[in-house]
Structure 1
Amino acid sequence: MFKNEFSGKSIIIAIPDHFGLPQRFKENLEFLGFKVCVIPDNMKVKIGFINTIIHVYKKFILREKTFKKIKKTELKLKKQLAVLEQSNIKKFNYALFIRPDLFCSELINEVKKKTEKISAYQWDGLDRFPLIYEKINLFDRFFVFDVNDLEKNSKLLPLTNFYFDDIKKSENKYDVYFVGTYMKNRIDLLIKLARKFKNLGLNTSINLHTHSIEKARKIKNEPITHIDKPISFRDNIINVSQSKVILDFANDVHYGISMRTFETIGYRKKLITNNPLVKKYDFYNSQNMFVIENKNIDGLEDFLSTPYYELHDDIINKYSFTNWLKYVLDIHPNFPINLIK
């Protein structure tokens, strides 16, 4: 990847503020040479007393659950447009929306007026946030990461996740690293693995986020660190880059591959995951990725004792942020990206 590869180009990005994700995008984009305008999503707005009454009526009487979300999105619009107008760039080359269901159509249309090409990536299942369906046609290019969503609109394009390529591999501090939120369907497996790693004498950093006292109590005596505040996206990536093996769990509501998997590709790490979908991709190698099926961890010790198998540079570059961005913005990507079912 080349620093300043997009020198002189400009881009608007609108991304939900999940653990510092907009800043992480901005840093990598600026590393590549872009001038970046970030449309914020984290402004706090109140819908007011009358709208609260309407929200309660619609939610509990009419069983409509989108009113509050729509109203908050509308109230954010004025502040978001002010950010857009403050930019000294009159016409941007590109615009990119991540989770565009969180942004109102009026904002998207205003951004369209100020840019040459506008793309979107819905990295959550379409049916989970049905407001997105009315916005798909507002974009020049619209991507989904769940292959099952492709049949829902002829305009949809396939796209995997990626790894940020402005952060490089570091010297290892941990043997195994994991950070995530408490989920009932995976906690027993996580505890099982954490105990296994401890018995093997491995230096682990296994972190679980929850505000629930009851859930925190369940892991109190386990080799798992309870954290009451999420780790930022940047700090998490640095931790990944400093670990030999990364632990990952699939989310049952999606059919796709997490960013954690692609980070192990970019930073040359081994992966332990319960997502069998990784076996179907070109980056899969059993020496690098241990797939847990039916909670069976037989063979894990052998996996941990074998060295990392170096992937071809083409595979590593294919799933980088730079190549991903070229594909999203239609700037002649070095390698095509596709989803596998």
Structure 2
Amino acid sequence: MRLENKLNNKKILFFSVQTFNLEREIIKKLVDFGAKVNYYDERPSNNNFVKGIIRLKRSVYQHRIDTYYKKILLETNSDIYHYLFVNRGEVVPEFFLIAFKKSHPDCEFIFYTWDSFKNQSHPTKILKYFDRKFTFDPDDAIDFNLNFRPLFYLDSYSEIKKVSDNKIKYDLLFLGTAHSDRYRITNIVINWCNENKLASFYYYFIHGRLVYFFKKIFDKSFQLFDYKKLSFVSLTTNQILELYKNSNVILDINHPGQKGLTMRTFEAIGAGKKIITTNSEIKRYSFYNQKNIYLIDRNNIVLDKNFFSSSYQDVNNELYKKLSIEGWLHCLFVEKESNLWIIGVN
């Protein structure tokens, strides 16, 4: 079945945290295929203080969360919904899912997460309420009996790939949230680039000063982060796209406790850019090509200057299309495709 046939004139209640405007891109794509989308941020508020409280001490903010979801129940009670779509499930409470199902018994519940349960355990408490369940993490897929589906690239990245005369300004690009050992690794890689006369650009984002100061006290890895190099404002989609256009190789540093491939991986594939990554799991994926993807050991970083000058090899066209946001939505709403991506996940 085609995606437009599945979504046309269907009403979707969509929950997602605000993440670099990705939620807007998902909504736009759903609407493009004929869906009517009612969107709510998962969090009661998106300011940095609330983000910090939820991440560090959710119980302190639970009453506000419950009040927020009771209000949503009232606002959605009289509407007909064909799908409840939860992306990530960081704070969605059980009572809301139970009550919404009672008032919308024919609504199909779809869950997806682009975070590992090691980093966000709350979703494991609500999985049982969903009809279709997906994760980007191959281990979580096995451990929690979920469908496995990697992330996606936006259409705007494929537009970069189509242009052959993009002027390269940076040999290496790193964009990412500040966490774990990213600062240490990027410093080593950037210093190597400088020694080898390769230009680089890096951007560290963090969710608020409260999160920074808490981590500075309790997380040893944050002792190394230079406060002056951190940004508390995320880049816009257009800014990120412009950086991709001007870059040759994308540096990807996964969280040490996370095996799922990052969004940066798929953005790079979409844009036709080579990748240097710390995530050895990528070797298990059907699109892996050592001509395009260079693995580094986060504890023993060895780089090869030849990788920066070699040519990029296009990904198989069928796989490339399935890695798009349209392919991602088709998997979630129409047809599961776990066996397409990686060995050992059903």
Specify the SS of the correspondent of 1:168: helix
Identify the residue that residue 49 of structure 2 maps to in structure 1.
none
Identify the residue that residue 187 of structure 1 maps to in structure 2.
183
Identify the residue that residue 16 of structure 2 maps to in structure 1.
15
2:70 to 69, 75, 78: 78
Q: Which amino acid aligns with 1:39?
A: Y
Identify the residue that residue 158 of structure 1 maps to in structure 2.
148
Distance 1:182 1:163, change over 3 A: same
Give, in whole Å, the separation in 2 of the partners of 1:44 and 1:101: 13
In 1, are the aligned partners of 2:154 and 2:325 still within 8 Å (CA)?
Answer: yes
Alpha-carbon deviation of 1:103?
Answer: 0.8
Once the two structures are superposed, what CA deviation does each residue of 1:222-268 show, in whole Å capped at 9, x if it has no partner?
xxx54332224564355335532211101112121111111112221
1:240 to 226, 236, 244: 244
Give, in whole Å, the separation in 1 of the partners of 2:224 and 2:116: 32
Alpha-carbon deviation of 1:144?
Answer: 2.3
Alpha-carbon deviation of 1:192?
Answer: 1.8
Give, in whole Å, the separation in 1 of the partners of 2:294 and 2:200: 17
Specify the SS of the correspondent of 1:295: coil
Give, in whole Å, the separation in 2 of the partners of 1:336 and 1:85: 38
In 2, are the aligned partners of 1:163 and 1:262 still within 8 Å (CA)?
Answer: yes
Give, in whole Å, the separation in 1 of the partners of 2:62 and 2:191: 45
Give, in whole Å, the separation in 2 of the partners of 1:202 and 1:335: 39
Q: Which amino acid aligns with 2:37?
A: V
Specify the SS of the correspondent of 1:162: coil
Specify the SS of the correspondent of 2:83: strand
1:95 to 78, 84, 98: 84
Once the two structures are superposed, what CA deviation does each residue of 1:60-112 show, in whole Å capped at 9, x if it has no partner?
xxxxx6633543320211343355359xxx43332210122411123324544
- Compute the RMSD of aligned alpha carbons: 3.4
2:136 to 111, 129, 145: 145
1:295 to 295, 300, 307: 300
Matches within 5 A, 1:214-293: 226-232=230-236, 235-237=239-241, 239-293=243-297
Q: How many residues align?
A: 313
Alpha-carbon deviation of 1:26?
Answer: 1.5
* Higher helix residue share: 2
Give, in whole Å, the separation in 2 of the partners of 1:283 and 1:117: 31
* 2:335 is equivalent to residue 332 of structure 1: yes
Q: Which amino acid aligns with 2:14?
A: I
Give, in whole Å, the separation in 1 of the partners of 2:238 and 2:126: 30
Give, in whole Å, the separation in 1 of the partners of 2:73 and 2:241: 31
Distance 1:190 1:166, change over 3 A: closer
* 2:59 is equivalent to residue 67 of structure 1: yes
Identify the residue that residue 44 of structure 2 maps to in structure 1.
43
- What percentage of aligned pairs have identical amino acids? 22
Once the two structures are superposed, what CA deviation does each residue of 1:291-332 show, in whole Å capped at 9, x if it has no partner?
112433232x10000111112211201222212211112x13
Specify the SS of the correspondent of 2:111: strand
Identify the residue that residue 122 of structure 2 maps to in structure 1.
131
In 2, are the aligned partners of 1:323 and 1:333 still within 8 Å (CA)?
Answer: no
Distance 1:66 1:3, change over 3 A: closer
- Give the structure-1-normalised TM-score: 0.77
Identify the residue that residue 29 of structure 1 maps to in structure 2.
30
Which of the pair has the greater relative contact order for Cα pairs under 8 Å at 6+ separation?
2
Q: Unpaired segments of 5 or more residues in structure 2?
A: 47-56, 161-165, 217-221
In 2, are the aligned partners of 1:318 and 1:334 still within 8 Å (CA)?
Answer: no
Give, in whole Å, the separation in 2 of the partners of 1:338 and 1:111: 33
Give, in whole Å, the separation in 2 of the partners of 1:258 and 1:217: 23
Q: Which amino acid aligns with 1:164?
A: L
Specify the SS of the correspondent of 2:126: helix
Specify the SS of the correspondent of 2:175: strand
Distance 1:83 1:308, change over 3 A: farther
| Residues 212-221 or 287-296, more deviating | 212-221
Give, in whole Å, the separation in 2 of the partners of 1:141 and 1:8: 20
Give, in whole Å, the separation in 1 of the partners of 2:74 and 2:157: 32
Identify the residue that residue 118 of structure 1 maps to in structure 2.
109
Distance 1:182 1:282, change over 3 A: same
